[in-house]
Copies of this chain bind each other. A is one copy, B any other.
Amino acid sequence: MADRRQPTLDEVAERAGVSRSAASRVINRAPHVSPAAREAVERAIKELGYLPNRTARALATQQTGIVALAVSHDDPQLFADPFYAQVIVGVSSVLEDTDLHLLLCLASSVRGRSRLTNLLRTRGVDGIMLMAMGAGDPLNQIVGDTGLPAVYGGRPPHVEPQYYVDSDNAGGARLATEHLIGLGRTRIVTIAGLPDSQAGEARHRGYREAMIMAGLTPYGAVEGDFTEAAGAAAMKTLLDRHPDLDGVFAASDNMAAGALRVLSAAGRRVPADVAVVGFDNLGIAQRTEPPLTTVHQSIQALGQEMTRMLIALIAGQDRTPVILPTRLVRRGSA
């Protein structure tokens, strides 16, 4: 553990017999350095095992080489949702080809959020990707204030951020509903998501649009918080209110799974009596009975696009929002 000190640029320069500036130039592939000097420096670097100190470079360039992914939400367990793991896989795959690293910030408490705002204000990162932002999250304001490049994943409710990547929630819901309609169903209800989440609202809207465009009346809707339990409860209510329903569009696979359970307990056959379509195409969709027809959105792609957009912003380019397409995955339930 003795002297792990890394060699410095000065030492490299001295060994190569050039000035520090010259050495710096060859490291940064800057012009104005003779082949001889370049070679000498490169040899010195090799011999010394030199690597530029990240922090020093960051201070000089005003660039940290780090981007943050913030999941700001009151429930710390939210992050346990496989959704975020997929986002991260996508983000990482893009970052892998850059010199940027990923800082992960779960800001679920007041303390956590203040740490995050501190990080931004102290210029601890070059840019930030935000997810699961609530409506009144003060972070929105702060991110704006700092002027740091910021990309939203999904849109926070009631505001349209300048830069964001989102799935085509409304389009996906239309896809799902149209599929049910195509099956000849007419008494189609929806288990909607929370209306104060942008995705929930958009999926509900897509359902309504599809119904109306087909000349049908939206047949019934109950909201749930995207969980299996909520889906089950909603399904019970809907069966009560509309015993003759023949189609269900659930705004999440988890809710669809709960609905499936309730339908089966109520003696309805799926898809014969009631056809069901979910949303998300999570792993659970393959394990329900019957397997769930659902709307697929590529969450990795979401992560990738967010990252690409952020990198562009950091590089000073401008970008327009990106809406990612969704597609229907047909399985047994519809």
Complexed CA–CA distance, A64 and B53 (Å): 11
A55 to B123, CA, bound (A): 8
| Chain B contacts for A112, CB-based, 8 A | 92, 96
- Which B residues lie within 8 Å of A102 (CB)? 103-105
A56 sits at the interface (CB 8 A): yes
Q: Size of chain A's interface in residues, with CB distance under 8 A?
A: 49
Within the oligomer, what is the number of copies of this chain?
2
Residues of B within 8 A of A268 (CB): none
- Give the residue of B59, B111, B124 whose beta carbon is less than 8 angstroms from that of A96: B111
The proximity string for A residues 49-68 relative to B, scoring 1 for CB distances below 8 Å and 0 otherwise, is: 00111111011000011100
Residue A19 CB within 8 A of the other chain = no
- Chain A stretch 54-102: residues in CB contact (< 8 A) with chain B: 54-56, 58-59, 64-66, 76-77, 79-82, 84-86, 88-89, 92-93, 96-97, 99, 101-102
A65 to B103, CA, bound (A): 12
**Chain B residues whose C-beta falls within 8 Å of the C-beta of A79 in the assembled complex:** 85, 88-89, 92
Partner of A1, one of B1, B104, B123, B147: B147
**Is there a chain B Cβ closer than 8 Å to A320's Cβ?**
no
Q: How far is the CA of A104 from the CA of B85 in the complex (A)?
A: 11
CA distance A105 to B77 in the complex (A): 21
B103 with A89: CB separation less than 8 A? no
* Cβ contacts under 8 Å, A6 to chain B: 121-123
Write the chain B residue with the least CB distance to A66. Answer: B103
**A264 at interface by CB-CB < 8 Å:** no
The reply to whether B97 and A101 contact each other, CB–CB distance below 8 Å, is no
Tell me whether A122 and B88 are in contact (CB under 8 A): no
Contact of A80 among B1, B86, B101 (CB under 8 A): B86
Contacts of A115 in B (CB 8 A): 96, 99, 101
Question: What is the distance, in angstroms, from A85's C-beta to the closest C-beta of chain B?
Answer: 5
1/0 per position for A294-316, CB-CB distance to B under 8 A? 00000000000000000000000
Q: Which residues of B contact A55 (CB under 8 A)?
A: 55, 58-59, 64, 123-124
In the A-B complex, list the 5 residue pairs whose CB atoms are closest, starting with the nearest: A54-B122, A4-B147, A92-B106, A54-B124, A104-B104
Interface contacts beyond A79-B89, A79-B92: sample of 12 additional A-B pairs, CB < 8 Å, sorted by A: A4-B147, A6-B121, A52-B122, A58-B59, A77-B89, A79-B85, A85-B85, A92-B106, A92-B112, A96-B111, A101-B105, A102-B105
